[in-house]
Chains A and B, each alone.
Chain A
Amino acid sequence: MNHFGRGLAVVVATGLCLGGLAAGEPPKVPTGKEPTCGEYGTSVHFEDSPADAARQAKKGEKLVMVLHVSGHFEDPRFT
């Protein structure tokens, strides 16, 4: 899994992006009413389907995490 090495590149890229933010416009503050697209109120980014996640994982040399839920995904007791 070469993504461990790739992680460094991601960190550098993120740093550059944040640097750009600091120098330019202030970041938008979420109002809380906007949909948290792809994250569903968690800190994890979710792809649309397990097939998409598998494609992304293959591309990014990552593993796949799939949640199986019964009930509301948005219910924090189950996530």
Chain B
Amino acid sequence: MNALANPEVGKFVNEHFSSSFQKVATFKIVGNAKQGGNVATYFCAPDGRVLHTIAGPVDAAAFLVEAKWVVETTRKAMKEAGSDGGKFKAYFRTAHAQRLRDEFGLTVDAVTFDPPEAQDEKDALTYRDPSGQPLAPRLPPPPLNGPDVSLAKKELDRRQLNAANSPGAGGVADAKGRRWVLPNQGKVHQILAGHAMVKIERVYGTVFENILGEKISTKPVEVDRPFSWVEKDGNRRVAK
């Protein structure tokens, strides 16, 4: 699973990306065992807007496929859109919707227009969360329309089997309530069909909490019993 230690991955990433990492969630130490712990990889434009994501650990081959797809798609989008940022965004979101269709047989409408955003805290468009300010919002994914009707049943079954065999596969409902299988990368494409080219600070909560099921946190490592001589209730442990 150690994709980043692979020399081929390193060569490609170092050639096309400047990289960094952040710790965004905690993990728990219970006794001597570690509970939780995960990783999400974001491929962004230099201004921090997310082009693509890999949710969870993957092997070197899968990592390279995704990294190369980002570079290729960026190249094509730049050629297609020129200096038009709106066209570039629409191109990327449509590309995510297309990958969802090609790999897992499910369709989603790419969101190619974003409504105006709030300018500041007092703006009439600002949403005020009654529970306080969350660390990062959870963005709603665009709804799944259902299967690609141009596919024969055999082909749709093959793509759904591919989904079922991919990491993080789980059930999702489409707009009509029918159930389908979608793995982590399928969920990434679904979300980015509506939210690609959004700043990383607005997307990471959705990826970490909705897809990976990890709670984002600013807390350091949680230790279940940091002091072996103190019980959980705070009383000193008595030797038996």
Contact = CB atoms under 8 A, between A and B. Distances in A.
Contact of A43 (B1, B7, B200): B7
A42 B23 CA distance: 17
A72 to B, nearest CB: 8
Which of B21, B25, B39, B57 gathers most chain A CB within 10 Å?
Answer: B21
Contact of A70 (B1, B19, B26, B47): B26
Contact of A44 (B13, B37, B217): B13
A76 B2 contact: yes
A73 B14 CA distance: 18
A48 B44 CA distance: 17
Interface string B12-49: 01111111111111110000001011111111111110
B21 A52 contact: no
B11 interface: yes
Interface residues of B, number: 53
Interface in B164-195: none
Contacts of A75: 37
A16 B48 CA distance: 34
Interface in A45-73: 45-50, 52-54, 56-58, 60, 62-73
A65 B66 CA distance: 12
Interface residues of A, number: 39
Contacts of B74: 1, 63
Nearest to B23: A69
A56 to B, nearest CB: 4
Contact of A54 (B4, B9, B48, B71): B48
Contacts, number: 168
B75 interface: yes
Nearest to B20: A53
Which of B26, B36, B44, B51 gathers most chain A CB within 10 Å?
Answer: B44
B161 to A, nearest CB: 27
Contacts of A52: 18, 20
A75 B5 CA distance: 11
Interface string A13-31: 0000000000000000000
Nearest to A64: B44
Interface string B49-65: 00100000100000000
B95 interface: no
B44 A44 contact: no
Given A42-B5, A50-B22, A69 B11 contact: no
A64 to B, nearest CB: 4
Contacts of A54: 18, 46-48
A64 B46 contact: yes
A66 B5 contact: no
Contact of A68 (B3, B13, B39): B39
B208 interface: yes
A77 interface: yes
Interface of B: 1-7, 9-11, 13-27, 34, 36-48, 51, 57, 67, 70-71, 74-75, 78, 200, 204, 207-208, 214, 217
